[in-house]
Amino acid sequence: MTRLQTTNSTLDITAIVANLKAYDIIAIAVILIIAVIIAKICTTFLKKKLSDRMEKSDLNVLNSIVWWSIILIGIFFASPHFKIDLSGLLVAGGILAVIIGFASQSVVSNFVSGIFLIIERPMKIGDNINIGDVTGNVEHIQILSTIVRTFEGIYVRVPNEKVFTSNIKNYVSNVARRFDYKIGISYRDDADRAVMIIRDIIEHEPFALKNPEPLVFVDKLGDSSVDLLIRIWAPSKEWYDLKMSLLVKIKTALEANGVEIPYPQQVVWVQQAKSAERGRGHEDNGR
């Protein structure tokens, strides 16, 4: 049996073809056709199952990876029929792999992180998130990086490795979330009445959820005011709009009902005045 030599990773293609017998050609063709059919079935299956769960671009990348992996496995199975001594190729391939591995460490890391992000799905396009010092809306989740548009409209590309290893705050991942207000009212005002007024305002807000029930209660007797704490649950997609609009409604309603929201204040006792008063008292006693 003739063995083909590989020298410096260069294959003599003509020699390979010349040594192939009809049986080998048929076997190679059959194996590769089977590989193509399996790859087609797998990629079609992935398209059907994942097209509503993954970005089209990511799905295309995943499909390409699956396709070429199956084809490479097919080539691996067909390789005995090529009658190639793969040992030389393996050594050269190993050295090449080490070089490429060092050179593309971060690329591979980002790629693998991207795969895990696609599987784990801690966020999806349109979500309002915070990754490290970046806060904004997710524009794209790509295989190497995640694109975030900050609230100022700035484009930020975050490498997937950073996304994967950072704490991700997804503000809209849960269907509902809570937000709080702290409102101080004057010590002169009736706190129970203020609580009722605020409850009424919340009751008339469609997106202030009925359940979990909103809470309004006296939280603290502060230096300048009786502090009320208001806790409201809202649909995650609507909470910010509600938070922005509701506070002014509460303020307006409290003021309309004569409830004062006091400025920070401090009572100052002036010693001189007290001494003068005492002095006047002595004079009155003398008379």
Which positions touch another protein (CB under 8 A)?
173-177, 203-204, 206-207, 209-212, 233, 235, 237-238
Rounded Cα distance between 55 and 250, Å, is 42
Distance of closest approach, residue 163 Cβ to another protein, in angstroms? 21
Distance of closest approach, residue 213 Cβ to another protein, in angstroms? 10
Q: Which is nearer to another protein, 120 or 203 (CB)?
A: 203
DSSP 8-state code for residue 193: H
Distance of closest approach, residue 174 Cβ to another protein, in angstroms? 5
Distance of closest approach, residue 167 Cβ to another protein, in angstroms? 17
Q: Which is nearer to another protein, 184 or 214 (CB)?
A: 214
- Collect all residues with Cβ–Cβ distance below 8 Å to 242 and sequence separation of at least 6: 179, 205, 207, 208, 232, 234
Task: Mark 200-214 as b/e (b = at least 16 C-beta within 10 Å).
Answer: ebbeebebbbeeeeb
Distances from the Cα of 198 to the Cαs of 244, 248, 253, in angstroms? 15, 11, 8
Distance of closest approach, residue 236 Cβ to another protein, in angstroms? 8
Distance of closest approach, residue 142 Cβ to another protein, in angstroms? 26
Contact criterion met (CB below 8 Å) for 179 and 250: no
Q: Which residues pair with 183 in a beta bridge?
A: 228
Distance of closest approach, residue 56 Cβ to another protein, in angstroms? 16
Q: How many C-beta atoms surround the C-beta of residue 114 within 10 A?
A: 24
Q: Which is nearer to another protein, 111 or 240 (CB)?
A: 240
Q: How many helices (H) and strands (E) does the chain have?
A: 9, 8
Q: Which is nearer to another protein, 28 or 232 (CB)?
A: 232
- Of 128, 115, 199, 215, the C-alpha closest to 168 is 128
Q: Which is nearer to another protein, 67 or 233 (CB)?
A: 233
Rounded Cα distance between 249 and 255, Å, is 10
Q: Which is nearer to another protein, 88 or 235 (CB)?
A: 235
Q: Which is nearer to another protein, 223 or 241 (CB)?
A: 241
- Of 161, 58, 169, the C-alpha closest to 113 is 161
Distance of closest approach, residue 239 Cβ to another protein, in angstroms? 11
Q: What is the dihedral of CA 69, 72, 74, 78, to 10 degrees?
A: -170
Q: Which is nearer to another protein, 106 or 174 (CB)?
A: 174
